[in-house]
A and B are shown apart, each in its own frame.
Chain A
Amino acid sequence: MSTFDTIPQTKQEMLVEILLRLADDRLILGHRLSEWAGHGPELEEDLALANVALDMIGHASALYEYAARLENKPDEDHYAYFRDDIDFKNIALVELPKGDFAFTIAREFLFSSFSYFLYKELIETVEDEQFNGMLQKHFKEIKYHLRHSREWVLRHGDGTEESNRRIQDAFDELWMYTGEMFEMDEMSRIAAQNNLYVDVSNWKQEWKELINSTLEEATLTVPDYNQYMFSGARHGRHTEHLGFLLAQMQFLRRSYPDAEWK
């Protein structure tokens, strides 16, 4: 499976597509978070963000590895380093530039709250043992990402005037990129029928309640759920930011394909 708008025919192709969608989201956001290394607001928070970044890249790596075995590709690096932006299936939310600390936290919160409900239901649904095992393992770390980001949302919201303004701006800016998380395209629907994905509308209300209660507790205004929503990144129509990210991430491996850690 490559590029966009092709509907997988076999169950295995569907599984690969789902693995890549989950993995791409995590690799790209992990990379964005890794850009904080050495630039965190405090030493401890620098470490925390790097830990979350490593968790996400680790999740992506495991998912890619499984996909590589199913597709007979040499290894997980094939997906990370040798595909172009049009082939990446991540949502646009994760590829936006890293922004300030408030933006980073708001994005981590939106993404890990979504991941939390998604993984919870996938674990109940997915029959493929290996895939399910991975989900269960990663779910524990997702719970921590949610806790980390939620606590920081609260502290920004009822912190100072400046921190409140910054995190409110971040949510307002990120809002139009939340729609893609809940899109059920034809691929997702077919995969859900085959117990490889789930109907995300089942728990969208629960997700909204978590978002609403957190933002209210943080004395923030919840943006309008019915506003215009960005769409198309899962099918290769990305923002201009992804190309620059990939150029940086893939450069070394593409220029020196045989380079090794010594």
Chain B
Amino acid sequence: MSDTSTQSTEWPLWEVFYQPSDGKPFEHAGSVHAPDSEMALQNARDTYARRNEGIAIWVVPSDQITASSPEDRGPFFDPANDKAYRHPQFYTVPRAVKKRK
């Protein structure tokens, strides 16, 4: 299928990230279609931020995101599987800290 058939009618896709509260990292919420960045922000607000989800939004053109491919799964993530010492699970968490959770 040629590119032009989809480009002519569909707005470009944008990935939406929102920040749940001050100091928290942005989280991926989903995506929206929009003709430009301002409309993408507005659409993101109307689609993902109407129920107190966050305090800030990022929109990024989906085609600007470089993603790892399924074939990368082995080399990228397998090495982590047998290195349990990388996980901080060998410490006893003090009761005071547990309580504050």
The interface of chain A, by Cβ under 8 A from chain B, is 42-45, 47-48, 51, 144, 147-148, 151, 155
Contact = CB atoms under 8 A, between A and B. Distances in A.
Interface of B: 11, 32-35, 38-39, 42-43, 45-47, 50
Nearest to A152: B39
A25 to B, nearest CB: 22
Contacts of A148: 42
Contacts of A51: 46, 50
A193 to B, nearest CB: 40
B35 A45 contact: no
Contacts of B47: 44, 47
Contacts of B50: 51
Given A42-B33, A43-B33, A147 B42 contact: yes
Main secondary structure of the interface of A (DSSP, over half): helix
22 contacts: A42-B11, A42-B33, A43-B33, A44-B32, A44-B33, A44-B34, A44-B43, A44-B46, A44-B47, A45-B43, A47-B43, A47-B46, A47-B47, A48-B42, A48-B43, A48-B46, A51-B46, A51-B50, A148-B42, A151-B39, A155-B35, A155-B39
Nearest to B46: A48
A260 to B, nearest CB: 25
A245 to B, nearest CB: 25
Nearest to B35: A155
Contacts of B43: 44-45, 47-48
A151 B11 CA distance: 16
A56 to B, nearest CB: 14
A150 to B, nearest CB: 10
B56 to A, nearest CB: 15
Contacts of A144: 45
A151 B42 CA distance: 10
A147 B42 CA distance: 9
A151 B38 contact: yes
A192 B46 CA distance: 36
